[in-house]
Amino acid sequence: MFERIESEPDRVCLHLRGGLDSEASRALRESLAALAVVEASEVVIDFSHVTFIDGSGIGALSFLFKRLAARGRRLVLTGVCGQPLEMLRHLGLAAALGIDRGRARRSFFSLPVLAWAR
């Protein structure tokens, strides 16, 4: 799942590969916790090679998003396509994360599906 991480002055990019399911989410827990406290203003997750995401993966993104937002940081997903894109669209999260630029942006945690994550 974890492929590599790149760090730039104000940006950290995590490259993932494969599926983001419960097993992968557990394996990434420490990495995501570390990303949540970085000083970079932007944390990017490259989904170019992610083929699958389930509820556990959505929960992992939610975990990271909340912690970054609390510190005034931003989460950006790039290269999202296929099933992960369809899942994020289905849940209304693609627009909230800025993936579907043509749609109005809403606060990630104002979405009813993530009310439990507050």
pLDDT per position as a tens digit, 86-95: 999 999 888 8
Going from the N-terminus, what domains does the chain have, and what CATH number goes with each? 2-117 (3.30.750.24)
Collect the ranges in the chain with pLDDT lower than 50.
Answer: 102-118
CB-count exposure of residue 30 (10 Å: 0-12, 13-18, 19+): exposed
pTM of the model: 0.79
User: What pLDDT, on a 0 to 100 scale, did the predictor assign at position 5?
Assistant: 87
User: What pLDDT, on a 0 to 100 scale, did the predictor assign at position 98?
Assistant: 73
